[in-house]
Amino acid sequence: MISNIQIKIRGYHLDLYGHVNNTRYLEFLEEARWTIKEKYFDSQNKRDEEFGFVVVNTNINYRNYTQLGDTLEIRTTISHIGNKSAVFRHEIYLIGSDKLIADADVTFVIIDRSTGKAMPIESEWRTRLEVLYNQPFSGHQ
């Protein structure tokens, strides 16, 4: 399954050159992951405090630039589930086109907040993550 969010480019996203600064894309990806966490992993009654998602590696490719007023769609899926880590696959597109702006693979672990240690991804966690599992959805690598 692919999870999508949209972000409109505002003035505060821009750098001195008038386009979105590379570090802002990391914030956009984080927003996509928070949306997924809230939708698929938090309990309905309260925020689940026993676990945390921690990014351990980010590989991002910047393919095109965007500017003020553009609207981006961030498509996110899970492309790999291992024993203790998994990978979010993000692709950012300019709405209304097939223009790929950036793509990224973000490796994460799920930690037990009481110990700070990575938890094995088994049984319930594997089932929960598999809802978003999908092979990478584009030919861009």
Residues 6+ apart with CB under 8 A from 70: 8, 9, 94, 95
CA dist., res. 9 & res. 39, Å (int): 24
H or E segment and range at residue 85:
strand 85-94
Catalytic residue check, 105: no
Which residue is catalytic, options 15, 42, 48, 112?
A: 15
Instruction: Look at residues 140, 61, 44 and name the one whose alpha carbon lies nearest to residue 106.
Output: 61
Catalytic (active-site) positions:
15
